[in-house]
Copies of this chain bind each other. A is one copy, B any other.
Amino acid sequence: MELNQVFPIWDKLTAQERALLEGSAVRRTASKGTLLHNGSADCVGLILICSGQLRAYILSDEGKEITIYRLFERDMCLFSASCMMRSIQFDVTLEVEKDAELWLIPADTYKGIMEKSAAVANYTNELMASRFSEVMWLVEQVMWKSFDKRLAAFLLEESTLDNSDTLTITHDKIAAHMGTAREVVTRMLRYFQSEGMVSLSRGSVKLTDRKHLEELAR
């Protein structure tokens, strides 16, 4: 994928900004397991994902991890360029989960463009807000987790009832069953999917890791 296909707001850039990005962005491939960015140890730049999958996590002094979000095709990672904003006071580690093709944009280049372009700054804002939302969701899960357990139990029960690992059911229907909003169900199912517990397709949920679901439901 070319830079202009993967950079999110290419159409809002000036010719000069496009030239700056094209002149400095570097193409890279990274195989599964590669650490692309390691907390405060480096500032590799913004990462644009052409293909593959990355995992962002935080790491305790004792080496414990928490996955805070995942990045997929056409996502952009800000926190691998956290040196460009002084208010980013936390360290994220980025690991390649599925072999990836990437564009790397140097932090200085992006910062220079963002400081002058309201469009780029506003896009960056939306990106940060969306990561922030993922982390807030994680906080709620961690502090209050009950819905994930309830949903795991529900899926297992339905699967037993249907005598099948593939449930023909909509998110709306699950929400109605559980007395919650469809968005809540969708978000949790996507999280389950990212953890490999289910596989989603239109109108169906396939249980792909019963053991993990059973552990969760307990």
> CB within 8 Å of B: which residues of A?
58, 60-62, 64, 66, 68, 85-90, 114-118, 120-122, 124-133, 135-140, 142-144, 179
* Contact assessment for B64 and A129 in the assembled complex, using a CB-CB cutoff below 8 Å: no
User: How far, in Å, is A148 (CB) from chain B's closest CB?
Assistant: 13
- CB neighbours (8 Å) of A58 from chain B are 136, 139-140
- Contact status of A135 and B133, CB under 8 A, knowing A118-B116, A121-B125, A144-B60: no
User: How far, in Å, is A41 (CB) from chain B's closest CB?
Assistant: 15
- CB neighbours (8 Å) of A124 from chain B are 121, 125
Chain B residue with minimal CB distance to A78? Answer: B129
Residue from B60, B128, B139 within 8 A of A128 (CB atoms): B128
A116 to B118, CA, bound (A): 6
- Contact status of A129 and B60, CB under 8 A, knowing A139-B135, A179-B143: no
Main SS class of interface, A: helix
- Contact status of A62 and B133, CB under 8 A, knowing A121-B125, A122-B115: no
User: How far, in Å, is A186 (CB) from chain B's closest CB?
Assistant: 12
- Determine how many copies of this chain the complex contains: 2
Residue from B60, B62, B129 within 8 A of A88 (CB atoms): B129
Interface centre among A60, A68, A120 (most CB of B within 10 A): A60
- CB neighbours (8 Å) of A117 from chain B are 118
- CB neighbours (8 Å) of A120 from chain B are 118
User: How far, in Å, is A187 (CB) from chain B's closest CB?
Assistant: 9
A9 to B120, CA, bound (A): 19
User: How far, in Å, is A20 (CB) from chain B's closest CB?
Assistant: 15
The 6 closest A-B CB pairs, nearest first, are A121-B121, A87-B129, A89-B133, A90-B136, A87-B130, A87-B126
- CB neighbours (8 Å) of A114 from chain B are 118, 122, 125
- Contact status of A86 and B126, CB under 8 A, knowing A135-B139, A140-B60, A144-B60: yes
* Contact assessment for B133 and A87 in the assembled complex, using a CB-CB cutoff below 8 Å: yes
- Contact status of A144 and B64, CB under 8 A, knowing A128-B125, A135-B135: yes
